[in-house]
Amino acid sequence: MTNRTAFVTGASRGIGRACALELARNGARVVLAARQREKLEEVASAVRAFGAEAMVVEIDLASPESIAQAFASAQQFAPVHILVNNAAITRDNLALRMKPADWDAVIQTNLTGSFLCIQQVLQGMMRERWGRIVNISSVVAESGNPGQANYVASKAGLIGLTKSLAQEMASRNITVNAIAPGFIETDMTAVLKDDFKNEMLKRVPLKRMGTPDDIASAVAFLAGDGASYITGHVLDVNGGLYM
């Protein structure tokens, strides 16, 4: 990935942070994007410790204007060759009780925001005739999950978006793939009760939660030259939770 630039959304923590660090280890420059600049600066310091270049940009995926500004700043740093759409939010509730605002917020951030990020990089990738887009979906996009109709719909939408764009962009040597993480140790799962975690682990054949590094390794693979003949694929990284 030497001389490649990766743009990672939700890079301030969890899976996004791990992805940024792994891409840096593999020689990429990294643009770190999220809402909290202070946390991004901490990640940037860790990236630079590998000897890699890092840039911090604030981004709000619910705002088309914020997305455009973030990518405009990034393009001044370097052309974006690799895009990792990782940032996401949840607003869980049963469908009967879900407020329209909570549906809209999740779809806007997780699906529409990711699409708008992709639009920002396509022309540059087409000019270069090289690009890697990796969308972070979820195991629940494939299995469903009660109480998360909005989140599941947004993550399933990412899979459909991945497959459509893969067909549109293949002739320009741009691959578009998705990763569907399973039960991963993140801030999002840290708040779950131990009883629920134990029940979930009973359903995981590998009998452990995944780590952000497990996802980051898969992202680095799909973003590298070794995955040049893989596009439109959904890579399950879930310990066997869903097969």
Residues identified as active-site: 151
Reduce the DSSP state of residue 66 to 3 states and report it. Answer: helix
In angstroms, rounded to a whole number, what is the distance separating the alpha carbons of residues 231 and 8? Answer: 19
Give me the residues paired with residue 30 across strands. 6, 54
CA-wise closest residue to 183 among 156, 210, 151, 215: 210
Alpha carbon distance 213, 31 (integer Å): 18
**Partners of 58 in the beta sheet?**
34
What residues contact 17, with CB distance under 8 A and at least 6 apart? Answer: 11, 43, 212
Residues 141, 222: Cα–Cα separation, whole Å: 20
Report the candidate in 159, 165, 148, 149 with the shortest Cα–Cα distance to residue 181: 159
